[in-house]
Chains A and B, each alone.
Chain A
Amino acid sequence: TQLLEQSPQFLSIQEGENLTVYCNSSSVFSSLQWYRQEPGEGPVLLVTVVTGGEVKKLKRLTFQFGDARKDSSLHITAAQPGDTGLYLCAGLEKVGAGSYQLTFGKGTKLSVIP
């Protein structure tokens, strides 16, 4: 199983600030997904990136997949209290015949203070 490292582990910022969180691996993934998880709930998919160098935007969120498909970043512009949550990256890899694994990083816990 490949490992994904996320940084920073914790981030506390004021409303209106910009931020970037990172997801890094030493190995290549078929695709990479970003999830957001709120307390007491399961993760919810935000985006999937597949192609090296790919950039996707979702309102104030910008996701980038590294050229070598080993790393990714999530940039949030003008953060709002509603952005508070645990942001998880997850890499998809094929393991053996007929099985795929989605391996998660440990997450970045974001708090946006009003």
Chain B
Amino acid sequence: GAGVSQSPRYKVAKRGQDVALRCDPISGHVSLFWYQQALGQGPEFLTYFQNEAQLDKSGLPSDRFFAERPEGSVSTLKIQRTQQEDSAVYLCASSLGGIRWATNEKLFFGSGTQLSVL
């Protein structure tokens, strides 16, 4: 497909388990973002990649969260030792532009991975 693809669609984890969430951005898109969306809330920024470089990880809530984009395309968000407060929808978005964000830059979002930690 031509859109942003995320997998798995749903993930149920036991507390303490490690999880890995995958994002396939639109081909050729330079920028990739991860957001966390709690139930009934707006998305909250986690981290930003420009190609393979992670330029901003200020939104990652703890050192249990780790993201990578080694070849500048597919990205993985890993959460170690999951806790109940990690339960949320994790959204990935990509955009064509990079460092020089154009004022009409458009983010394309995937459908998200809904993570439930029991």
Contact = CB atoms under 8 A, between A and B. Distances in A.
Contact of A42 (B50, B99, B110): B110
Interface of B: 4, 33, 35, 40-45, 48, 50, 55-56, 58, 91, 93, 99, 101, 103-107, 109-112
Kindly state the interface size class of chain A when it binds its partner.
20 to 34
A30 B100 CA distance: 13
A98 B4 contact: no
Contact of A31 (B33, B56, B91, B103): B103
A52 interface: no
B109 A98 contact: no
Nearest to B57: A99
20 contacts: A6-B42, A33-B107, A41-B111, A42-B4, A43-B91, A44-B109, A48-B105, A50-B104, A88-B42, A94-B101, A95-B58, A96-B56, A99-B48, A99-B55, A99-B56, A100-B48, A102-B107, A103-B45, A105-B42, A107-B41
Contact of B111 (A42, A50, A96, A105): A42
The 5 closest A-B pairs by CB, nearest first: A42-B109, A104-B42, A99-B56, A99-B55, A100-B101
A95 B56 contact: yes
B92 to A, nearest CB: 8
Interface string A88-114: 101010111011111111110100000
Interface in A57-114: 88, 90, 92, 94-96, 98-107, 109
Interface in A40-55: 40-45, 48, 50
Most chain A beta-carbon neighbours within 10 Å: one of B33, B43, B103, B110: B43
